[in-house]
Amino acid sequence: MEDSNGIAYQRGRFLPVEEVNVSILDPAFSKSDVVFDVVSVWDGRFFRLEDHLRRFRESREYVRMKSPYSEDKMKQILAQCVDRAGLSEAMVYMLCTRGSYTGGGAIGDPRSCENEFIAYSHPYYWVVPRERVKTGVHLWLAETCRAPNSAINQKTKSFNRMDLTRAQFEALDAGADAPVLPSTDGFLTEGPGFNLWIVKDGRVLTPGDNMLEGITRLTVFELCSLLDLEATTANLTAEDLQKSEEAFISTTGGGIVPVTRVSERAIGDGTPGQISCTLRDLYWAKRAEDWHTTSVSGLLASSAESLAGTR
Amino acid sequence: MEDSNGIAYQRGRFLPVEEVNVSILDPAFSKSDVVFDVVSVWDGRFFRLEDHLRRFRESREYVRMKSPYSEDKMKQILAQCVDRAGLSEAMVYMLCTRGSYTGGGAIGDPRSCENEFIAYSHPYYWVVPRERVKTGVHLWLAETCRAPNSAINQKTKSFNRMDLTRAQFEALDAGADAPVLPSTDGFLTEGPGFNLWIVKDGRVLTPGDNMLEGITRLTVFELCSLLDLEATTANLTAEDLQKSEEAFISTTGGGIVPVTRVSERAIGDGTPGQISCTLRDLYWAKRAEDWHTTSVSGLLASSAESLAGTR
């Protein structure tokens, strides 16, 4: 099959992702009442599929949605979306939407909605320009705050991103690559699609509140452990970041990327730091070793058996 | 023409609202990067159309979007959506979406997107059950906070509503009609689709921060002035609300509705308050007098002339 822009699954059908729409009356649009997750595929293998499914389950639980499918069935659908698109490097989205309220609008009782599951594959992408993985990224200290967990729980992956988008305008206007948002109480949180890390006195530190608990962030903790580096959460200020020995970001869309500049200030000597580069390289080396991976074709083969005769 | 569920306008075409969709790849869905407003029509007349258009403009300015159409053209489209649906009582939505990023996804520079305008009419609805306008509404003090303006500016009408929806679950679980959300610093803000008011020592008070500046809220200020009542903004706590002499809500979807119960506690003697009822009745009396209204058919007639020959 030829490469495509991605294949989606919606209401029992696989179709080109460009053809999948949501009604403007659907609360998934008109209230952004939807949770999601994105798992990457590299060289035909999902990375940490079980962790993404666990987080997707936790997101659904927080917003009180139920997927109409079992996790096994969802895995099969995700694998099909990748396989049918002919993509060996992909981002694979899984969404759960509230579904229509009785009467079809968005007034009434959200508890009685029939929640829906949508999935799609998309060619792999980098949340910052790809060359930054080598040269380092320029972050911007945004003024726009990340909404706090007490209002919008950032552990729950949602499309409520007005704060991130506003901060992105700030960063781009300043000529930087991406913003980092403070919490409303003044500590750093995250940027659009990535977690933040600094190196201070040889320790590796990352925010612990009001941000998504990234799966690549989890991976960084494990890689640090393999390297005998101490990694922990900490309340970090803008000054901590700007005066750090090193800094880097972690993301499904690009792995580990060194930070070389924050607002008007260079980090260290302005080149990617040593610990950052070691983690970045180890990340890709481990992925090449099939660490935490699940083969797309293997998943499909295993189910061909179990599904035989169930159509 | 027969009544319908509403007529929409998208990309130069009028069509049934049920047929209007947004791609799941559109940042209007995948980042909830869209602002909107809703103006009501009663007895064939828009209420405070200019005020809604002003607020819609301010929302676009905050998120840095430009409508592809002039305000005159947008007015014409809104009027057409109502007229073509045959609705004399309607909610009329106007949306501005970011539009696709270069390359069609949501990675890249949002500054270069071509923003889009969508409008639609919908039969008029009540944000709380209609009978509550007479009998009074039961509000619930939610634990979920409203996201603060420093993160998501609530003066900007957006679909970033995860906090409102979570609070709605709290209210419905408790058997109440709707929630009121606190700010992260502990003052009351608003509920889904309405502003909150209390009467204390004969003065009429409403929150001033971290909530939408409702057009019906603006109307309440004017009605209070007509009645020689002092109305002002104030930091209100849950206790202020529960111990108030009277309370009411204001909304485009139902006007002014008395509050008779807040969580487990009755307001006053548990029946609609006198000032609340006076304001409610004056609201509907003024609307019947064509106060602040614009005739849908008048708008269409005036443009038939100015548009003649421009098709």
What is the fold, at CATH topology level, of the domain defined by A132-288?
A: D-amino Acid Aminotransferase; Chain A, domain 2 (3.20.10)
Check if B157 contacts A (Cβ < 8 Å): no
Minimal Cα distance from A170: which residue of B?
Answer: B111
Please identify among residues 184-223 of chain B the ones whose CB lies closer than 8 Å to any CB of chain A: 184
How does B68-93 read in b/e, with b if 16+ C-beta sit within 10 Å? eeeeeebbbbbbbbbbbbebeebbbb
Min CA distance, B190 vs chain A (Å)?
13
Check if A29 contacts B (Cβ < 8 Å): yes
Asked: is A7-123 a CATH 2.60.40.1180 domain? The reply is no
For residues B145 and A152, what is the distance between their CA atoms, to the nearest angstrom? 8
- Could you report the per-residue pLDDT of A35-81, keeping only the tens digit for each? 999 999 999 999 999 999 999 999 999 999 999 999 999 999 999 99
Please identify among residues 57-76 of chain A the ones whose CB lies closer than 8 Å to any CB of chain B: 63-64
For residues B10 and B16, what is the distance between their CA atoms, to the nearest angstrom? 10
Please give the average per-residue pLDDT across B39-53, as a whole number: 98
pLDDT of residue B303: 78
Identify the three-state secondary structure at position A35: strand
For residues A102 and A82, what is the distance between their CA atoms, to the nearest angstrom? 34
pLDDT of residue A104: 57
Q: CA-CA distances (angstroms) from residue B42 to A25, B49, B250? A: 21, 12, 16
Length of chain B: 311
- Could you report the per-residue pLDDT of A108-123, keeping only the tens digit for each? 789 999 999 999 999 9
State the first-to-last Cα distance of chain A, in angstroms, to the nearest integer: 23
For residues B160 and B153, what is the distance between their CA atoms, to the nearest angstrom? 10
CB contact under 8 A, A20 and B24: yes
**Which residues of chain B have a CB within 8 Å of the CB of A21?**
21-24
CB contact under 8 A, B20 and A23: yes
Check if B40 contacts A (Cβ < 8 Å): no
**Which residues of chain B have a CB within 8 Å of the CB of A158?**
162
Min CA distance, A270 vs chain B (Å)?
24
In chain B, pLDDT over 90 holds for what percent of residues?
91
pLDDT of residue A279: 98
User: ipTM exceeding 0.90?
Assistant: yes
pLDDT of residue B311: 42
Q: What are the boundaries of each domain within chain A?
A: 7-123, 132-288
Check if B243 contacts A (Cβ < 8 Å): no
Check if B107 contacts A (Cβ < 8 Å): yes
Is the confidence at residue B310, as pLDDT, over 70?
no
- Split at pLDDT 50, 70, 90, the class of B108 is confident
CB contact under 8 A, A32 and B150: no
* CB–CB contacts below 8 A, A to B: 159
The per-residue pLDDT string of chain A (311 residues; one tens digit each, 9 = 90 and over) reads: 455 789 999 999 999 999 999 999 999 999 999 999 999 999 999 999 999 999 999 999 999 999 999 999 999 999 999 999 999 999 999 999 999 887 655 577 899 999 999 999 999 999 999 999 999 999 999 999 999 999 999 999 999 999 999 999 999 999 999 999 999 999 999 999 999 999 999 999 999 999 999 999 999 999 999 999 999 999 999 999 999 999 999 999 999 999 999 999 999 999 999 999 999 999 999 999 999 999 999 999 987 766 554 44
